[in-house]
Amino acid sequence: MLFGKTYKFLNISIHDVCPSNFENVLSLRKLLIENGITNITYLLIPFYHEKETLLDIKNEVLEITTNAEGDLSIILCLITKSPVEYL
């Protein structure tokens, strides 16, 4: 229940899952689950600002995604400043 209502089909997306934001991701995830929202989409950023790598938090990401309480979606964001770099 959130704001006094139950949302059967609500899905929340948590953006910018990366090492520097991971504590905030955990806090937001906990708040959502405490309020009955378990349909969570995690948007993973492999090289956040070209400085951080998901490899630094791979075990933590695996933990929250394999112990999901509701529907789970994972999106790997591969947006760069110049897509031509990868061609």
Confidence of residue 62 (pLDDT cuts 50, 70, 90): confident
* Mean pLDDT estimate for the chain: 79
Backbone angles phi, psi at 11, to 5 degrees: -130, 130
* The pair of three-digit structure tokens given for residue 53, joined into one six-digit string: 């790598």
The percentage of the chain sitting over the pLDDT mark of 90, rounded to a whole number, equals 16
The model's pTM: 0.73
* pLDDT digit string, tens, across residues 35-44: 888 888 888 8
Q: Domain locations in the chain?
A: 13-81
Handedness of CA 43, 1, 31, 61 (dihedral sign): negative
